[in-house]
Amino acid sequence: MLKIEGLVCRYGKVAAVRGLSLEVRKGELVALIGANGAGKSTTLKAISGLVAPAEGRLTFEGEDITRSSARRILQLGIAHCPEGRRVFPYMTVTENLQMGCHLRRDAASVASDMRKLFDRFPILYERRAQTAGTLSGGEQQMLAIMRSLMSRPKLVLFDEPSLGLAPTMVERVFDIIKSIQAEGVTVVMVEQNAFAALELSDRAYVLEQGRMTLTGTGAELLNNPDVKAAYLGA
């Protein structure tokens, strides 16, 4: 479904990603794990068109998206849920969701999608008229996830969905991501919380200094001694 070949991304002279290749198949939940500065977030940004790749090729369902705009990539069906529960703080919950489907013009089906999502997150329905900045951290993350689903994506990129959340909330967020996958949406997730990410994912890639150093199924990597030593603290 998504194929990355020899991706290089630079911020000025510093290369954040140095020749990364990976593949995501339809319906999978793929995790990218690695230390700070390994290039995980940059990889996601390159996929969604927010960072222009210096070298390499990205294809999504056969279409070359290496140079496509963020808008075009979203239209093709890739949604990005950025790091740090990014919501529009001065917009209401409802307005935030409307922003998520900025490219859709079918008001009726947007409304029905929003109703379905509100069924799933009743707490956000109660707070629909509140500005997003007044929500708790967990609620903001839920809202960010909901918003990324409003564009009816085929592939969702989650950047550190559990960052800074209370343990019960972390569990809740991972449950939601699992249920999104169960509905047939492909998921790529970047996580610091390597243990949870590996447990959850079908396959995972370990990134170090902008390169992929290991790959395998979640279970394989969980039992890999190197991974254990470096990321699981065992």
Partner 1 sequence: MKRLGTLAGLLFLFSIPLWLGNFYLLHVLIITGIFIIAAMSLNLLLGYTGQLSLGHAAFFGIGAYVSSLASLGFAVHLLPDWLVTLDPQPVWLGMACAIVITGLCGFAIGKVAFKVRGAYFVIVTISFAEVVRLVALNWDELTQGPMALNNIPPLSVVIPGLVDITFVGKPANYYLVLVFAILTYAIIARLVRSRAGRAMIALKENEALAASVGIDVTKYLVLAAVVSAAAAGAAGALYAHYVRIVDPNVFLFIYTVTMVIMVVAGGKGTLAGPVVGGVIFGLLPEGLRSLAIAPEVQWIVYGVLMILVVYLLPQGIVPALRAYRQRSRSLEPQDAPGANASARQAMP
Tell me which residues touch partner 1 (CB under 8 A): 48, 50, 69-71, 74-75, 80, 82, 86-91, 95, 98-100, 102-103, 126-127, 129-131, 133-134, 147, 151
Minimal distance, residue 133 CB to partner 1, in Å: 8
Of residues 50 and 232, the one with the C-beta less far from partner 1: 50
Question: How far is it, in rounded angstroms, from Cα 74 to Cα 88?
Answer: 18
Q: Which of 60, 57, 33, 7 is nearest to 159 (CA)?
A: 33
Of residues 53 and 100, the one with the C-beta less far from partner 1: 100
Minimal distance, residue 21 CB to partner 1, in Å: 24
CB 16 within 8 A of CB 207: no
Minimal distance, residue 47 CB to partner 1, in Å: 11
Minimal distance, residue 100 CB to partner 1, in Å: 6
Of residues 35 and 50, the one with the C-beta less far from partner 1: 50
Q: Give the contacts of 180 (CB within 8 A, at least 6 positions apart).
A: 145, 149, 156, 187
Question: How far is it, in rounded angstroms, from Cα 213 to Cα 102?
Answer: 38
Torsion angle of the four alpha carbons 137, 138, 142, 147, in this order, in degrees rounded to the nearest 10: 10
Minimal distance, residue 150 CB to partner 1, in Å: 9
Question: How far is it, in rounded angstroms, from Cα 161 to Cα 59?
Answer: 25
69: how many CB neighbours lie within 10 A of its CB?
11
Of residues 59 and 131, the one with the C-beta less far from partner 1: 131
Q: Which of 172, 171, 203 is nearest to 187 (CA)?
A: 203
Of residues 132 and 212, the one with the C-beta less far from partner 1: 132
Minimal distance, residue 72 CB to partner 1, in Å: 9
Of residues 100 and 218, the one with the C-beta less far from partner 1: 100
